[in-house]
Amino acid sequence: VLFGVVATFASGALASCAHGTFLQPRAEAFVEPAFGYSGSNGPANWVSLDPKANALCATGTHQSPIDLVSDVFSLVPGSDLVIDLPDLDEGAEFENLGTTVEVVADGAGTLTVGGTTYTLKQFHFHLPSEHIDNGTSMAMEMHMVWQSEASTLAVVGLYIDLVDPSTSYKKAKKAKKTKTSPTVPFPLLETVLGSVNKIATPGSHITTKALDMSELVSILAAGSFKSYSGSLTTPPCSEGVSWFVSTQTLSIEIGTFIKSRNVLGYNSRFPQNAPGEPNVITLA
């Protein structure tokens, strides 16, 4: 299944937007994360955890996430991206990194743009959403991380909200037929996050059931993307990451959200200033 992003992709960043994920492979034994989301190891203090490596967390002027107001992004049609995501009939590894949970999908799909091919490395989750949509926060956010052979990075972000109980079956079928964002539980997310309680302990991992990626591709292709040049949202906060936040929103059951909340807790970096503006830490 294909859909098509014409843009300049990230360069020079070797970690994903969740430091310690598949782009920085898990050690044989679980290693406690050096950073977190509250207290002395929270976002406001990331630079102090490693002043040299994490310098951009406090000084970078193109940091992520941001509030996606109209003057800070370019709107990219879904048809401008070309993505091939085959179904994962045998499932994929689903692991708890201590700072997020991620599905390892190394090589399970490509994004091609400008003659360069990028490979899907993994997708992971934040609760609540890291990006703000014109002042509005969503329940969760999924980040799909792509890397080229030259180690350039792109991240596709998707908002996740809760199912509207008033949505009728007829409305759900209409949404599926027109490939609009469904207001019913999205099967891929229910398959993955529905089992998140099985990896509640940091360092634990399981193999998911079969993952149907085709419907996700269709939904993304039918929408647009809010694109800007930003950073990793975790240490070392490397910049030059090309962000594409979908205008489509996926939904999950309230029960699935509660499972996710019980495992993830709170794992979102606070919004940064608009690209090019001083770092919020320097203004504190």
Tell me: pLDDT of 263 over 90: yes
CA distance readout (Å), 199 to 27, 51, 97: 17, 32, 10
Helices (H) and strands (E) in the chain, counts: 7, 12
Q: What pLDDT is stored for residue 24 in this prediction?
A: 58
Give CA torsion, residues 72, 242, 120, 226, to 10 deg: 20
- pLDDT score of 10: 41
What pLDDT does residue 184 have? 76
- pLDDT for residue 59: 98
Give the confidence band of 14 by pLDDT, cuts at 50, 70, 90: very low
**In the numeric block, which tokens belong to residue 255?**
């029960």
Is the distance from CB of 54 to CB of 46 less than 8 angstroms?
yes
Domains and CATH numbers, the chain: 2-283 (3.10.200.10)
Half-sphere exposure of 105 (CA within 13 A, CB side): 32
- pLDDT tens readout for residues 33-64: 999 999 999 999 999 999 999 999 999 999 99
Give the closest residue to 263 by CA, choosing from 139, 35, 101, 133: 101
132-189 pLDDT tens trace: 999 999 999 999 999 988 888 999 999 999 987 665 444 555 555 555 555 678 999 9
- Average pLDDT of the chain to the nearest whole number: 87
**Segment 61-78, tens digit of pLDDT:** 999 999 999 999 999 998
Residue in the block written with tokens 């994903």: 16
For residue 28, the SS3 value is coil
Confidence of residue 284 (pLDDT cuts 50, 70, 90): confident
DSSP output for 128-158: S-SSBBTTB--SEEEEEEEEETT--EEEEEE
Q: Which two tokens stand for residue 70?
A: 């109209």
Cβ within 8 Å of residue 206, ≥6 positions away: 93, 94, 195, 198, 199
pLDDT at 168: 43
Token pair of 55 as six digits? 């310098």
Diameter of the chain by CA atoms? 56
User: How large is the average pLDDT for residues 115-134?
Assistant: 93
Listed ranges 9-18, 113-122, 229-238; the one with the highest mean pLDDT: 229-238
CA distances from residue 19 to 9, 49, 99, 143, 168 in whole angstroms, order as listed? 19, 14, 9, 13, 40
What is the four-CA torsion angle of 232, 233, 234, 235, rounded to 10 degrees? 50
Q: What is the pLDDT of residues 19-38, one digit of tens each?
A: 445 565 555 678 889 999 99
Per mean pLDDT, which range of 45-49, 116-120, 209-213 is the poorest?
Answer: 116-120
pLDDT(123) > 50: yes
Which among 140, 141, 149 is positioned nearest to 111, based on CA atoms?
A: 149
pLDDT of residue 138: 97
The predicted pLDDT at position 115 comes to 74
Tell whether the model's pLDDT for residue 1 goes beyond 80: no
Burial letters 45-56, b for 16+ CB under 10 A, else e: bbbebeeebbeb
What is the reported pTM?
0.88
Q: Using CA atoms, how far apart are residues 229 and 61, in angstroms rounded to an integer? A: 11
Q: Quick one: average pLDDT of 198-220?
A: 95
Give every CB contact of residue 9 below 8 A, 6+ residues apart in sequence.
113, 116, 118, 148, 152, 153, 154, 242
Give the span between the Cα atoms of 119 and 173, in whole angstroms. 32
